Amino acid sequence: MSPLLPQTVLDRLHAALPQARVELVNNPSPSGQHALLVHREDAVQVAEFLKNDPELLLDYASDVSGVDYPEYLEAVYHLFSIAKKHGPIVLKTRTGDRGADASVPSLTRVWKSADFQEREAFDLFGIRFEGHPDLRRLLMWEEFEDFPLRKDYVAPNDCEYEPTPHGDIVQKAAAASASPVPQA
Partner 1 sequence: MSASSSNFFSGTADAGALEVSLGPHHPSTHGVFRMNVRMEGETVVKLQPVFGYLHRNHEKIAEKNSWLAAMPYTDRLDYICSGTNNWAYAVAVEKLAGIEVPERAEYLRVIVGEMTRLQNHTAFLGFILGDMGAWGSALMYAFREREKILDLFEELTGARMMLNYARFGGVRCDTPAGWLDKARAYLATYPAFLDEMEQFLTGNEILLSRLQGVGVLSAQRAINGGLSGPVLRASGVDYDIRKVDGYSIYPRLKFRVPRGEVGDCFDRFMLRLLEARESLKILQQALDQIPEGPVVNPAVKQRGFKPPAGEAYGRIEGPKGELGFHLVSNGTEKPYRYHVRPPSLINLTLLEEMCLGTKIADVMVILGSIDIVLGEVDR
Partner 2 sequence: MNFPGSGIIKGMAVTALNIVGSYFDRAHAKRLITEQYPEERPKLAEASRSFPFLVFDGDDPEKGIRCVACKICEKECPPQCIYIVKDTDANGKPIMRPKVFDIDISVCMGCQICVESCPFESIRMDNIYEVSGYDRFAPLVLHKPQLLKSNAYYHGIRPTEAAATDARIEAARLRKEAAAKAAAAKVAAAKAAAAAKAAGEKAAETKPTQPE
Residue in 10, 16, 59, 169 binding partner 1, rule: CB under 8 A:
59
Determine, following the binding rule CB under 8 A, whether residue 42 of this chain makes contact with partner 1. no
Largest CA distance in the chain: 67
Residue in 38, 58, 90, 107 binding partner 1, rule: CB under 8 A:
90
Of the pair 7, 177, the CB lying nearest partner 2 is at 177
Of these partners, partner 2, partner 1, none, which one is at the site of residue 162 (CB under 5 to 8 Å by kind)? partner 2
- Angle 112-124-140 from CA coordinates, rounded to 5°: 90
Give the bridge partners for 129, in sequence order: 104
Q: Looking at the chain, which runs of residues are DSSP E strands?
A: 22-25, 35-38, 60-68, 73-80, 89-94, 103-105, 128-130
Looking at residues 141 to 160 of the shown chain, list those that interact with partner 1 (rule: CB under 8 A): 141-143, 148-149, 153
Of the pair 168, 178, the CB lying nearest partner 1 is at 168
Give the bridge partners for 64, in sequence order: 77
Cβ 31 to partner 1 shortest distance, Å: 4
Determine the Cα–Cα distance for residues 4 and 11; give it in Å rounded to an integer: 12
- Angle 74-48-98 from CA coordinates, rounded to 5°: 15
Of these partners, partner 1, partner 2, none, which one is at the site of residue 71 (CB under 5 to 8 Å by kind)? none
Determine, following the binding rule CB under 8 A, whether residue 43 of this chain makes contact with partner 1. no
Determine, following the binding rule CB under 8 A, whether residue 136 of this chain makes contact with partner 1. yes
Determine the Cα–Cα distance for residues 90 and 77; give it in Å rounded to an integer: 6
Do residues 108 and 114 touch, judged by C-beta distance below 8 A? yes
Residue type, 42: D
Of the pair 151, 166, the CB lying nearest partner 2 is at 166
> Can you give the binding site for partner 2, defined by CB under 8 A?
162-167
Which positions touch partner 1 (CB under 8 A)? 1, 27-31, 33, 35, 59-63, 65-68, 76, 78, 82, 85, 87-88, 90, 111-117, 120, 124, 136-143, 148-149, 153
